[in-house]
Structure 1
């Protein structure tokens, strides 16, 4: 039993992302994409990682590194999604628009890919900011327009409740999409394979299958904590400087966002180390883990094989280098 507890104490920094019929796994030295093509074969793509903090150490400081790593993960995630989507093209390709033809004519393939990735990241970040920050602020302003004497703490409470409700509805709607179901199965396979590795067990389909599919360092939990921290931060700020104008409140939320992401990242680092053996960490991560019921599904054996292979490809050359 002592040996089992000792092995389970290991926490890896390796993390991943579900793709279209595949998984992106990111380790301390390498990043691997493993996709199962339409013939059923596993296609592998491995890249050496170069970290911006190595060139600019200030970007690796606590609170700063959170935003940097989040944006970096967004960029690599979009590129990986585009790569996996190429294995499953639409049956009837739509005729290129004039704008698409113009881009192909005036930009090289590399520049065009960079432009598409940048646009996708901007749209993704922009949609998240609109749904979980801007929309709740404007809805609260609209509701409380008829109650001008409503207390500030009440306004903050209503806004916070709306943030959580919108996030929950968003997860539920996504989980009901037929095409997303398999992606969420790969998401479950990614979590299970990491748990198996952290437990010190051989990476086999049988060992991975019995692992939990809810992981405390999941992106779903991260986004929930971002929302929760933003509620706390805005409550403090608006408690000191009462602001009721929706435009000024929205601006304040945007200015606070880098700090909120930074605090959330550091929180996730702490949780990654202690979520399995600390009562407080278990309590704080419980809501995020529950929400993973909507973003992870039980995988089949083929998905688990894909997760295992992607994890094997990013294991560090030096044992323990990936320790969290």
Structure 2
């Protein structure tokens, strides 16, 4: 999940985790979760980015891929923290020290595992619609028809997947925290005081959400695929895999564009399909969930101010 503040406000990213919310700023990332005893626990980490990714993030069409890799890597660490602790009473924290990590995690690390999981998921969501569309070739034989059918299956898979997982109690609560995350950002951007009442008055939808990005990959992919052949099948598979970075990069730019146009009376509707998808990926949060989101964001603002002050002192 990715959000940017508008106008002159700083840039912030966010992500719902198990029983909590993670927010990231320029220098720090903070996760707040609700523990089993109803207390709020925090995980703070400096926001790290490799020199290579920093350079890539300045290049249009490539910056989206770099942002995805960085957000997935950082988010995985915070998601791991929340999933380890949310159902433990603080008195049982010693058990975490005794917990043995899998050999794969020890070798590659949480961040790399997260990126690999994203890549595998993206490959599956790209190739499964290809095979489903190929089954309809006797009916839809032209290249254009095949691409439309393939995009339809991809969209259908995404919607069905999101709907099915949202029926589980755990994911439903994650989606509620997702809504709380958006509400906090909306309140912050509008200058509304970050109280439970003020935040709850805001929309749970936001133009910069990663859910919108997912939908744009379907739409952008459909147009990109029109430039390459769909037959034979092995060529189609190779094309789809090779074009994954292209589709991701272009979709990120489209997401950026729709946010910039969100204040224009007519052009703002370009971002509406992404907002509609968020009706599935976000749920109205409860007050105690909003409280956790506010705590996370407030802690982040404090850390960001401290880091900014330290930097200024060094310059002086």
Question: TM-score when scaled to structure 1?
Answer: 0.82
- What residue number does 2:270 align with? 284
**What SS is found at the alignment partner of 1:279?**
coil
**Matching residue of 1:33:** 31
Q: Is 1:128 aligned to residue 122 of structure 2?
A: yes
Aligned to 2:254: 267
The correspondence of residues 209-288 of structure 1 with structure 2, limited to 5 A, is 209-235=200-226, 237-238=227-228, 242-275=229-262, 277-288=263-274
Q: 2:157 aligns with which of 166, 169, 187?
A: 166
What are the equivalent positions in structure 2 for 1:163-202 lying under 5 Å apart? 163-202=154-193
Partner of 2:300: 314
Q: Structure 2: how far apart are the matches of 1:183 and 1:102?
A: 24
- CA deviation map 1:246-285 (0-9, x unaligned): 221121112111121111222222333332x123542211
**55-64 or 68-77, larger mean C-alpha shift:** 55-64
1:174-221 Cα deviation digits (max 9, x unpaired): 221222111111000000000000001111111000000011111111
Distance 2:197 2:88 in 1: 34
Runs of 4+ in 1 over 4 A off after TM superposition: 8-12, 53-56, 100-104
- Give the number of the structure with larger relative contact order, counting CA–CA contacts within 8 Å between residues 6 or more apart: 1
Give the distance between the partners of 1:224 and 1:63, measured in 2 at CA.
Answer: 17
Q: What secondary structure sits across from 1:50 in the alignment?
A: coil
- The separation in 1 between residues aligned to 2:86 and 2:101, in whole angstroms, is 25
Partners of 1:141 and 1:230 lie apart in 2 by 17
| 3-state SS of 2:297 partner | helix
Q: 2:106 corresponds to which residue?
A: 112
Deviation at 1:35, TM superposition (A): 1.1
Supply the distance in 2 between the matched residues of 1:196 and 1:212 (Cα, whole angstroms). Answer: 9
Give yes or no for contact 2:34–2:86 (8 Å, CA) kept in 1: no
Contact map agreement 2:207 2:259 (CA 8 A) in 1: yes
Runs of 5+ unmatched residues, structure 2:
1-5, 90-98, 310-316
**1:82-115 CA distance string (max 9 Å, x none):** 1001113599xxxxxxxx98956xx9xxx71744
Aligned mates of 2:143, 2:53 — CA distance in 1: 44
1:126-160, Cα deviation, whole Å (9 max, x unpaired): 123212x101111111221x35x822211111112
Uncovered stretches (5+) of structure 1, i.e. residues with no partner: 1-7, 92-99, 320-324
Name the structure 2 match of 1:94.
none
Q: CA RMSD in A?
A: 2.7
